[in-house]
Copies of this chain bind each other. A is one copy, B any other.
Amino acid sequence: MQEKVAQLLKKNQMSVTASRTKILELFLASQGALAHADIERLTNGFDRVTIYRTLQTFVDKGLVHTIPTADNSVRYALCKDECSQGHHHDDHVHFMCDDCGNTYCLDHIHVPAVHLPQGFVVKQTDVVVSGICSNCTLR
């Protein structure tokens, strides 16, 4: 496992360090998205600045993407393989559960094409849905 994580870092052109390894492991083990605070809680000892910089590096390298949330908090989730340095292709719907607070990437739900009036050029469409997730309805 550690080795797989190291390979993944190298594949994305990052040197293998303790914080990157640990934080990437957290993403691989997590079902949903992670916020800076989650990572600070789940690790012990890494400086918060290091966590900020690690997350930014992961975004830059195309390993994770940020998720726009209705409450303007910043969350991060693993990208699919198609993403790479400077080219993100995370065109899926995001879901935020009002009950458990988790945020999920609905990878197989593609964002619908929205048709805008004459003159508007669409570059990116973000869809964030909130409600109750499937875990929470089952209880």
Report Cα–Cα, A109/B127, bound state, in Å.
14
Counted per complex, copies of this chain come to 2
What count of chain A residues pass the 8 Å CB interface test? 36
Q: Is A26 part of the contact surface with B, judged by Cβ < 8 Å? A: no
Q: For A137, what are the chain B residues with a Cβ–Cβ distance below 8 Å?
A: 119-121
A27 CB to closest chain B CB (Å) equals 20
Chain A residues with CB under 8 Å of chain B are: 68-70, 72-74, 93, 95, 98, 106, 109, 112, 114-135, 137-138
B131 A123 Cβ-Cβ under 8 A: yes
Among residues of B, the one whose C-beta sits closest to the C-beta of A115 is: B109
Report Cα–Cα, A123/B118, bound state, in Å.
31
Closest 3 CB pairs of A and B: A119-B134, A123-B131, A121-B132
Q: For A117, what are the chain B residues with a Cβ–Cβ distance below 8 Å?
A: 106, 109, 134
